[in-house]
A and B are shown apart, each in its own frame.
Chain A
Amino acid sequence: MKTLGFGLGLRPDHYDAILSEQPSVGFFEALTENYLVPGGKALHYLERIRANYPIVLHGVSLSIGSTEPLNHEYLRLLKGLSRRIQAPWISDHLCWTGTEGVNLHDLMPMPYTEEALTHLVPRIEEIQEFLGQRILLENVSSYVGYRSSEMSEWEFLSELSRRSDCLLLLDVNNVYVNSVNHQFDPDAFIRGVPRQRVAQIHLAGHERQDTFIIDTHDAPIADAVWQLYQSAYKRFGPVSTMIERDANIPPLQELLEELALAQTTTMAIEAAP
């Protein structure tokens, strides 16, 4: 998949600054559900910004892992929005967001089992068939794990992407968060994910509790995540990379400076003997 360089999450706080300052950004990532509306301000700005930048779609309600039937109305609207802005790709999360008709609006973790793989693969295939393109699924942060899991998270991701032919959105912050929360080597995760499947990378901040980490997206990227990003870059190369900030959103310039750090990191790796 074509790399779009370095991007940012598209947030309403920055609409006007993006239009007036035209920052040097490779792409923006829009939160799908915010734009699945009939009309109004959000779509107005989305189209204006789309005139100058590629915009990829990143959803939170696909609920690919739920045992509920797929929401075909959601998929129909998603396809329409994607066509409207000519989104280079569509991503969502490897999780479930509710069952019995309820949406918890959270990224609930999957057990890493053969049963889960068997459940997920035909759903991904159906979605990819409907959308006419491969989707990207993101590894999520989790605070609890299941006793029933039969393999590691990276083995699960690898097997899932192989069987369904989907692509992966590697959230480096989530890898780090889970490595602390579930006590594994984050580099083993990076090494374990198939190189050719990773089509996008997320970087974000988190919040450390007493004994575990919550994926809050409300702070600058932590040093440990920057270090892990170096490992990721060395393994996956120049994959489209962006910073997610969902709370405590700073001025655009501050995020651009943080994004420049990502670019500097990769340039230093490229320049190293």
Chain B
Amino acid sequence: MRLRELQQSFQNRVLRHRRGIESQLNDAQGEDFEPRLDAYVGGYRTRLIEALAATYPVLKFTLGADEFEQEMRLYINSSHSRHFSIRYYGADVAQWMSSSVTLGWEGTALAELARWEWTLADVFDAPDDDPLTVEDLSEVVPERWPTLSFSLRACVHRFDSRTNAVEWWRAANGLCEKPGALNKTSPSRWLIWRRGITTLFRSLDSIETELLAEVRRGATFGAMCERMTRSVGEDQSALRAASILRGWLAEEIIREPSLPSANE
């Protein structure tokens, strides 16, 4: 058997339990052969489950270790790792859980919890772009302000929720009282970002949510003020927009114009 076929055959055994590689291996009739082969076949699943547990600790806590393993084994059977880093293997867990026919509504809530934990992981190792500061803006002449536009740092994510998954996650980490159950709630929106190496999050009101969306679309400060006019009136719009912007600068969610990539 040529090298290519040999590797395909061995991989088929690991991924799909398909027999065939045995004829190419030494001592395939030996009594300890299956345990040896299982070091690869079982080891593959064990490693992926460990990686998924590291990414989804509260999902595991919520399901319990046994059910988590059972669900993740189904996920592993449905999805192969294609990235050089095992860190990215769980990218589709939320989508997979939401489409699970066995989990029903619970699947939707668990999927949201998974999406929250995946977002936290993305924030955790997002690029180290520098935040824009109040001092950076102090040199801008007043005439330029209406045409200024801003960008969000790469670590900034908005998380839209239809369940109490965030509260559930906070309770699991000892940050609040545990809700009675993981279930449907009125919609809420969250901002997640990183300051230095610390991941932070807070809830968003509707005005801030819309302004952040404007910033993502590349809106100018003038456009932000215009948007605020609808909420607080023309007299207060610039003041209110400036106040929100000042808060974002303090929170370090706006980035400096240049963004050097980490490993370039």
Q: Does B194 contact A (CB under 8 A)?
A: yes
Contact present for B24 and A148 (CB under 8 Å): yes
Q: Does B1 contact A (CB under 8 A)?
A: yes
Whether A71 contacts B84 in the complex (CB less than 8 A), given A39-B262, A40-B194, comes out as yes
Interface residues of B (CB under 8 A from A): 1-4, 6-8, 10-11, 14-15, 24-27, 31-33, 35-37, 39-40, 43-44, 47-48, 51, 80-87, 89, 124-129, 154-155, 194, 196-197, 261-264
Contact present for A116 and B3 (CB under 8 Å): yes
Q: Does A214 contact B (CB under 8 A)?
A: yes
Contact present for A41 and B83 (CB under 8 Å): no
Q: Does A184 contact B (CB under 8 A)?
A: no
Complex: how many Å from CA A41 to CA B127?
10
Complex: how many Å from CA A157 to CA B196?
45
- Choice from A43, A106, A111, A144 contacting B43 with Cβ under 8 Å: A106
Contact present for A212 and B3 (CB under 8 Å): no
Q: A103-B80, A146-B25, A148-B1 are in contact. List 11 more A-B contacts (CB 8 A).
A: A36-B263, A38-B126, A39-B128, A67-B4, A84-B263, A103-B86, A105-B86, A115-B3, A145-B25, A148-B24, A210-B35
Contact present for A74 and B24 (CB under 8 Å): no
CB neighbours of B1 from chain A (8 A): 148
Q: Does A248 contact B (CB under 8 A)?
A: no
Min Cβ gap A18→B in Å is: 16
Q: How many residue pairs bridge A and B at CB < 8 Å?
A: 146
Contact present for B25 and A144 (CB under 8 Å): yes
Whether A100 contacts B8 in the complex (CB less than 8 A), given A38-B127, A106-B43, A147-B25, comes out as yes
Complex: how many Å from CA A80 to CA B263?
5
Contact present for B10 and A108 (CB under 8 Å): yes
Contact present for A77 and B7 (CB under 8 Å): no
Complex: how many Å from CA A61 to CA B85?
8
Min Cβ gap B220→A in Å is: 28
Contact present for A96 and B126 (CB under 8 Å): no
Q: Does A98 contact B (CB under 8 A)?
A: yes
28 contacts between A and B (CB under 8 A): A33-B84, A37-B125, A38-B154, A39-B126, A39-B127, A40-B124, A41-B124, A42-B125, A43-B125, A44-B197, A74-B84, A80-B264, A99-B7, A100-B8, A102-B15, A103-B84, A104-B44, A106-B14, A115-B2, A143-B40, A144-B26, A144-B36, A144-B40, A145-B25, A145-B26, A145-B27, A147-B24, A181-B36
CB neighbours of B194 from chain A (8 A): 40
Min Cβ gap B36→A in Å is: 4
- Choice from B11, B40, B264 contacting A99 with Cβ under 8 Å: B11
CB neighbours of A144 from chain B (8 A): 25-27, 33, 36-37, 40
Min Cβ gap A107→B in Å is: 10
Complex: how many Å from CA A84 to CA B262?
9
Q: How large is the interface on A (under 10, 10 to 19, 20 to 34, 35 or more residues)?
A: 35 or more
Whether A146 contacts B128 in the complex (CB less than 8 A), given A36-B263, A71-B84, A102-B15, comes out as no
Whether A106 contacts B126 in the complex (CB less than 8 A), given A33-B85, A81-B263, A100-B11, comes out as no
Contact present for B84 and A210 (CB under 8 Å): no
Min Cβ gap B119→A in Å is: 14
Contact present for A148 and B6 (CB under 8 Å): yes
CB neighbours of B39 from chain A (8 A): 143, 214
CB neighbours of A111 from chain B (8 A): 3, 6
Min Cβ gap A225→B in Å is: 19
CB neighbours of A211 from chain B (8 A): 31-32, 35
Q: Does A24 contact B (CB under 8 A)?
A: no
Q: Does A196 contact B (CB under 8 A)?
A: no
Min Cβ gap A46→B in Å is: 11
